[in-house]
Amino acid sequence: MKFDLNNDKLYRMEHYNMNLTVKVWRQKNSKDKGGFVSYQVKDISSEMSFLEMIDVLNEKLIVEGAEPIAFDHDCREGICGQCSLYINGKPHGPWMANTTCQLHMRAFKDGDTIVVEPWRAGAFPVIKDLMVDRSAFDRIIQAGGYISVNTGNAVDGNSLPINKDHADASFAAAMCIGCGACVAACKNSSAMLFLSAKVSHLALLPQGEPERKSRVLNMVAQMDKEGFGACTNTGACEATCPKEISISNIARLNKEYLFSSLTSDK
Amino acid sequence: MTWKQVFTSSVGKKLVMGFTGIFLILFLIIHVSLNACIWANDGGKMFNAGAHFMGANVVPRILEIGLFAGLILHIVQGLMLELSNRSKRGIAYASDYGNRGSKWYSRSMGILGTLILLFLILHMSDFWFPNRAHQNFVLGEEIDLYAKMKTTFSELWVVIVYVLGCFSLGYHLAHGFQSAFKTMGVHNKKYNQMLTSIGYGFSVIITLAFAMMPLSFYLSWLN
Ligand code: HEM
Ligand code: SF4
Ligand code: FES
């Protein structure tokens, strides 16, 4: 599905209300087996966001004395990477280049059944309901996603010439918000798109140069340790990424890895 | 990073797949060119001369050892990667992700590879094994491979299995060709687009050329 404003199946601009069946994965805690529970939600506005629809459902559950559905969210404006949700077979739902918090209910029509699952990956264990533990990503960043900065006076920003193409490619890679949708979409549960965005972001800038070799080697080692799969270049990640991180970053990571492993001293 | 750490990492394992994959592609170019000599339509004279050069000469026979090493590495590593990757999801999704962003054959490399492996077992027991056995596995006298092709490909089921084997290889390469270059680190857009196109072209040519061989015998296009 392309980003197509004329496709009224995806973008119906006039306001309408709908009744829906929402099938949600419920799981008490990481030990619980979990399972799907179906809920009926009524009078949902097409102008609501997907998370607002769940808010409405949760209000209803609270009034009924039931446990509300746990899900991750923070900024609700598509920048923090906290929201997740695998909606009808797509991480972040049916729209392209979009986060779940920016998915609006006009993507659905009256009478639809929506299946909502957590991200599924051994490296992202479910904490509760739709919330998964993505701290594996933090540990990957800790393994090498940083640069050394000298103390002392700040140097003039313009004293360091940077190739414009590299700066642009680096910025595009730095757009990654660490949401994990790439892992959720990949048949191998590989974290390579995320990792390649972080490695490319720093490898393309002079500031990333001091740790260039150890960074990629250590971050890949940490990714493997966390239990993510290997990349087979299928392309599902790139098509799902809310920030449109290009799969060419993965090839760049492979180059960095090959070069660093051949030339590192250890 | 020791060599062991490098080649047991996920990226290192993929590098092994990529390098051995390209190596096997180079072999395919030689294999298909030599076999194309059957279409000289000279009762197999040219083809048998080529086959004789490959089978009775010390250099190609040493290269053959490298070919087996590469093939076995590719198969063992490929199957192990496939099993490992399949184990990473944990609980399966209830709704299928579908085709967005990826082609079915790119997601089926393990299955396509297994089909190629099954085909290779049949293929080698049809030609390679009887011929080498005849040579006592050294550089001795070979059998008439053209005549052997003629009898082998007189059976319909064999022809069908060979054609299916060729198509499995074609789809494996349609993804594998460009994927191998990405694995080896080619990230420049202009090269990637070029390599993807070359990969599709190569896959189609390889598939059709190999598939035409059993068909040529079965349909008596050759005398
Ligand atoms: C005989 C059984 C074979 C098996 C079990 C097998 C299996 C696999 C597997 C599992 C992959 C990894 C999938 C991926 O990286 O996307 C792969 C990749 C590949 N295979 Fe095979 N394969 C076999 C034969 C062949 C043959 C005969 C060729 C070529 C002549 C070939 C060429 C390639 C290439 C080029 C790749 C891509 C490597 C990469 O992406 O880095 N394979 N194979
Ligand atoms: S690469 Fe894209 S999908 Fe993956 S974590 Fe970053 S923003 Fe999310
Ligand atoms: S809640 Fe911050 S990106 Fe969706």
This model of the complex carries an ipTM of: 0.93
Q: Which amino acid does the sequence have at A223? A: M
Q: How far is CA B203 from the centre of its chain?
A: 11
* Global confidence as pTM: 0.93
User: Which domains, and CATH codes, for chain A?
Assistant: 8-128 (3.10.20.30), 134-151+160-263 (1.10.1060.10)
Q: What is the mean pLDDT of residues A220-224?
A: 98
Give the atom of ligand 2 at the shortest distance from the alpha carbon of A196: 1
**Average pLDDT of chain B?**
95
For the cut 90, the answer to whether the pLDDT of residue A265 exceeds it is no
C-beta of B17 in contact with ligand 1 (< 6 A): yes
Domain ranges of chain B: 3-86+107-218
Q: Report pLDDT for B138.
A: 87
- Band (A8; pLDDT cuts 50, 70, 90): low
Range A174-178 contact pairs with CB under 8 angstroms and sequence separation of 24 or more: A174/A201, A175/A243, A175/A244, A175/A245, A176/A201, A176/A241, A176/A243, A176/A245, A177/A79, A177/A80, A177/A81, A177/A99, A177/A242, A177/A243, A178/A81, A178/A134, A178/A137, A178/A141
**CB distance A36 to B94 below 8 Å:** yes
C-beta of A82 in contact with ligand 3 (< 6 A): yes
pLDDT digits (tens, 9 = 90+) for B201-213: 999 999 999 999 9
C-beta of A81 in contact with ligand 3 (< 6 A): yes
The interface residues of chain B toward chain A in range 67-96, judged by CB-CB distance below 8 A, are 81, 84-96
How many other CB atoms are found less than 10 A from the CB of residue A58?
17
- Band (A10; pLDDT cuts 50, 70, 90): low
pLDDT digits (tens, 9 = 90+) for B54-113: 998 899 999 999 999 999 999 999 999 999 999 999 999 999 999 999 999 999 999 999
pLDDT digits (tens, 9 = 90+) for B164-175: 999 999 999 999
By the CB < 8 Å criterion, does A228 face chain B?
yes
Cβ-defined contact of A229 to B84 (cutoff 8 Å): yes
pLDDT digits (tens, 9 = 90+) for A176-215: 999 999 999 999 999 999 999 999 999 999 999 999 999 9
pLDDT digits (tens, 9 = 90+) for B18-28: 999 999 999 99
pLDDT digits (tens, 9 = 90+) for A116-137: 999 999 999 999 999 999 999 9
